[in-house]
Chains A and B, each alone.
Chain A
Amino acid sequence: MPTEVSHDLYGELDESLGAPLAEVLDRTCIILLDRGGIDDLTYLNVSPAVYQSVVRSRAKEVRRGGPMSLLGLLLRRDESLSGNETSAA
């Protein structure tokens, strides 16, 4: 089950993980546009590596407990995804 980001999870992140966000965003953006946009979507599930990169970059926002988003969708960590994978839901 995908997990939404919370500030509690920040301390549990695996520092060895990481993903190239420029690649991830470009690819995911095209997928979202090809399916007609994000109007009917809420979540973007991401692999642990992508999750790690986003949360590490947004440390301040995470500490404030703000909702994490990517490309206009709420972010969820999904252990079933690997590498730089993302999946909208």
Chain B
Amino acid sequence: MLSHEENEKLCRVGPGTPMGELLRRFWIPICPSKDLAQPDSDPVRIRRLGEDFVAFRDSEGELGVLDEQCFHRGASLSFGRVEDGGIRCLYHGWKYAVDGTIMDTPNMRQEHFKKKFKAPAYPVYEAGGVVFAYFGHKEHQPPPPKYKWMEGPDEWRYVFEMIQENCNWVQAVEGGLDSSHVGILHGDEVALITRGEYDPKGIGKDRYPSVDQAPRLEIEDTTFGFHYVALREALEPGKYYARITPYVMPFMTFPAFASAVMRVPRDDESTAVISVAWDPDDYPNEAAIMDRQGMDDPRVYGPDKRLRILPQDREAMRRGESFSGIRGFNPQDGAMTMNMGGPILDRTKEHVVPSDMAVLRMRRLLLRCADAVANGEAPPQLDPAVDASEVVGTSGVIDVDDDWRKLVPAHKAL
């Protein structure tokens, strides 16, 4: 639980809020690269941290992120024409380059105006099939992010974005740090994984060799945030099934193996979830991923990227064929985190227990870092010496006396 004041500080991300100021120190994932696939492709409306932006790729392939509202009279540039090296507002034809340079003002001929002013534009970085932008103060801008999943050609990855409405970002991230729900909410999938029938080369690679529902948990602070392990009695006597989940401040979790999930606040009440499946040995298959997630159904996930939860299959639940009556990890998680009594979970009412350890650590870390930034300090995770490029989520069967950290040798403990 948290006090009301702590919960407000943790969850609200608008300009000037403590958490908003912390998050603006980091590069923010704004969309998959494929949304802006070609030079002069359609502009994309972006909502992040309670503010609205437009992203576009100019004729030379350069990416730009500007305030959504036109510098002139505030029309939405998301309706604009991307052409001849810039984006042109439909309303009065003002045109902007990726760096905010005003290229054209058809209703005002004075040339000096264009030289004197610039539309607000934000630094952009693209890697691993994801576009990032930096919305903080220029003097605090960190080096671009570098993660394992950014390596290699695009064929190694599948990236998709999903929007969870009525869901504050914190409860979404908490779901990614909550081992004890996996064997329950996702019990249908775990049963398939155990039988080798679910993504046997991906998330089901280890076949989840345990039936232990009460794992022993250990947590360790790291340079990038923290990682924790769920140690379950393995099917093989005398062994532990160790499943390690890293949390890279402030958005990213690594569910297992070659995947990463970034749960980014669009505003206080909705979250953009950008997932990356990455595997150089067995290229991710888009159709198979969406099928497994139950997201190949347009009633669940369509072009607007909104996740919608279908009515549960209560008959299948009664027949013992499904625990949740919901198909797929993402819809199952969404059904929980998008229905927590309002868009922002009231944490004064919850009753956490020791198995919620990683959730508690994340909250403490975020609140401490928000306080640090408010006191003029930098978030320690952005120290230039911190290297998160080898961080992975993984699992393995180890001897009960073994140190689980040997499975993640690149993770630097504090």
Bitwise, B1-31 to A at CB < 8 A (1) or not (0) is: 1111010001000000000000000000000
Q: Which of B340-365 contact A (CB under 8 A)?
A: 348-349, 351-354, 356-357, 360-361, 363-364
Residue of A nearest to B6 (CB): A22
User: In the complex the two chains form, what is the Cα distance from A57 to B10 in whole Å?
Assistant: 16
Contact status A21-B3, CB under 8 Å: yes
Is the CB of A81 closer than 8 A to any CB of chain B?
no
Q: Which residues of B contact A33 (CB under 8 A)?
A: 216-218, 354, 357
Query: For B367, what are the chain A residues with a Cβ–Cβ distance below 8 Å?
Result: 20, 22
| Given A21-B1, A57-B1, A37-B6 contact (CB < 8 Å) | no
Q: Verify A29–B354 contact, CB threshold 8 A.
A: yes
Q: Which of B218, B348, B352 touches A25 (beta carbons < 8 Å)?
A: B352
Asked whether, in the complex, the Cβ of B219 is within 8 Å of the Cβ of A30, the reply is yes
Cα separation A33 to B180 with both chains bound (whole Å): 14
A7 interface hit (Cβ, 8 Å): no
Among B2, B3, B6, B218, the most chain A Cβ lie within 10 Å of the Cβ of: B3
CA of A54 to CA of B350 in the docked complex: distance in angstroms?
A: 11
CB distance from A20 to the nearest CB of B (A): 7
Nearest-neighbour CB distance to chain B for A24, whole angstroms, equals 9
Q: Identify which of residues 299-320 in chain B touch chain A, using a CB-to-CB cut-off of 8 Å.
A: none
Tell which of B6, B216, B348, B356 touches A58, judged by Cβ atoms closer than 8 Å.
Answer: B348
Query: Complex Cα distance A53/B206, Å?
Result: 44
Count contacts on B: residues with CB < 8 A to the other chain.
23
Chain A, range 4-50, C-beta contacts under 8 Å to B? 18, 20-23, 25-26, 29-30, 32-33, 37-38
The answer to whether B3 and A56 touch across the interface, beta carbons within 8 angstroms, is: yes
Chain B residues within 8 Å of A20, by CB? 6, 367
Which chain B residues in 159-208 approach chain A with CB under 8 Å?
A: none
Number of interface residues of A (CB under 8 A): 23
Of residues 54 to 77 in A, which have CB atoms within 8 Å of B's CB atoms? 54, 56-58, 61, 69-72
User: Across the interface, which residues of A come within 8 angstroms of B2, CB to CB?
Assistant: 21-22, 57
CA distance A80 to B1 in the complex (A): 24
Interface centre among B4, B217, B360 (most CB of A within 10 A): B360
Query: Quick check: B354 and A32 within 8 Å, CB to CB?
Result: yes
A71–B3 CB distance below 8 A: no
Please state if A57 and B354 are interface contacts (CB–CB under 8 Å).
Answer: no
Q: Which residues of A contact B364 (CB under 8 A)?
A: 22-23, 25-26
A: which residues have CB within 8 A of B? Answer: 18, 20-23, 25-26, 29-30, 32-33, 37-38, 53-54, 56-58, 61, 69-72
A/B interface sample: 26 pairs, CB < 8 A:
A20-B367, A21-B1, A21-B2, A21-B3, A21-B6, A22-B10, A22-B363, A22-B364, A23-B364, A25-B1, A25-B352, A25-B360, A26-B364, A29-B360, A30-B357, A33-B216, A33-B357, A38-B354, A53-B3, A54-B1, A57-B2, A57-B3, A57-B4, A58-B1, A58-B349, A72-B351
Residues of B within 8 A of A (CB): 1-4, 6, 10, 216-219, 348-349, 351-354, 356-357, 360-361, 363-364, 367
